[in-house]
Structure 1
């Protein structure tokens, strides 16, 4: 049995592909992801199936939407006489927590479709390794508690301290922190719950994805088996 009631065994795997049109590269695609050693625990297979579904959805998006957009861009470039730049699609997973019967990671989806720079979108996932079920943010707080308001306030306090030292956020960042808070945008780390905001949500592109860590001391129900 590959689960010891605390964590899982996994390996990182990689897939790569290139899509061409008339002998010209349209889209380069790659994905690096964790594969959990399944053993006899049914929950581990469910985790692999969830990851496989995430990968498949992104692959379909690349091979359909991105590819056809790239072909249209290529044809336009040929007609109007400007150079075509191949598109790029990368989906990479980072495992951040593997303990106390919880397996957590984030995946960054990077897309370059021409222009000055690409865009990265982050998604967080947390699973109970015994059941293989996704664990929502609410599971770490008492039922009925106003945990979202509490988290927003803790994030705002952290952002305020950062802004005082180095004003990197938009001027209206307090409003944006409340506006763009997403209870699905989190993952676990050894020090607590990491809650993140996407590019452009609370600051300019240059500051990237912003992560705020809520320490376990502020969490009602830390992960346990």
Structure 2
């Protein structure tokens, strides 16, 4: 079993005494009864990932924020401080299996920010990151089975909310499919797409639930 605590990296970066970038990066730290070495490796995975995100903030976003702040000042435009916020949600944590997703929100001073989602499902006994094919018995026809369900779900959703998906969604769900874009829940799997992949910004991150056998279908 895994016990999860939250670690945080955060800072406010200034330029000429003006806060141009704020970042907060939350990431999980695990203790587990399922394996010491595997737990150490998984913790290192999130530590490295978080430090890379911080480096991106300090070296890339900060330089861009400073440039925009100077331009705004020189042209007497209002400047909206940049923001980077990363947080995780644990969706399944039973026995030696833990599944979670991480949403990285970046605001660059425009009308709204953008969110990028990543997810992992871990077997703490082996240290292996589980794949989507581990949860489907018929891997040969996996993609066709997934796309058929997603296309049917979108068709139903469009009846209630027209224009909530792009008109060419049958092609987009195939072209933008990410085999790693899933996370585990108690009774099934959620497959998701990134913002703008198959739907307008207002639709958020589209999610589609695939229940396990003998489980009642639920809303993601």
Judge same fold: TM > 0.5, yes or no.
yes
Once residues 189 and 212 of structure 1 are traced to their aligned partners in structure 2, the CA distance between those partners, rounded to angstroms, is 12
Alignment of 1:79-158 (within 5 A): 79-142=74-137, 145-158=140-153
1:47–1:132: 8 Å Cα contact kept in structure 2?
Answer: yes
Post-superposition offset of 1:27 = 0.6
8 Å Cα contact 1:126-1:188 kept in structure 2: yes
Q: Which residue of the other structure, out of 51, 55, 73, is the alignment partner of 2:50?
A: 55
Q: Determine whether 1:18 maps to 2:25.
A: no
CA contact (8 A) 2:30 2:43 kept: yes
Stretches of structure 1 that go unaligned for 5 or more consecutive residues are 1-6, 220-225
Whether the aligned pair in 2 keeps the contact of 1:156 and 1:174 (CA below 8 Å) is: yes
Alignment check: 8 A CA contact 2:120 2:183 kept: yes
Q: Give the stretch that moved more between structures: 94-103 or 139-148.
A: 139-148
The equivalent position to 1:194 in structure 2, one of 190, 193, 204, is 190
Could you tell me how far 1:191 is from its partner in structure 2?
Answer: 2.1
2:161 to 145, 157, 166: 166
Q: Secondary structure at the match of 2:105?
A: strand
**How many aligned residue pairs are there?**
213
Q: What residue number does 2:179 align with?
A: 183
Runs of 4+ in structure 1 off by over 4 angstroms are: none
- Measure how far apart 1:218 and its partner are: 9.5
Query: Take 1:140 and 1:218, find their aligned partners in 2: how far apart are those partners?
Result: 14
Is 2:91–2:185's contact at 8 Å kept on the other side of the alignment? yes
TM-score normalised by structure 1 residue count: 0.88
Q: 1:41 aligns with which of 30, 33, 36?
A: 36
Q: Which residue of 2 aligns with 1:206?
A: 202
Name stretches of at least 5 consecutive residues in structure 2 with no aligned partner. 216-220
SS, match of residue 184 in structure 2: strand
Give CA-to-partner distance per residue, 1:64-120, whole Å, 9 cap, x none. 110000011111112111121110000001111112421110000000011111000
1:112-144 CA deviation, whole Å, 9 max, x = no partner? Answer: 011111000111111111122211212223475
CA RMSD of aligned residues (A): 1.8
Structure 2 CA distance for aligned equivalents of residues 38 and 24 of structure 1: 43
Q: CA deviation at 1:188?
A: 0.6
1:29-76 Cα distance to aligned partner (Å, 9 max, x none)? 002222102565221111111111221121111111100000111111
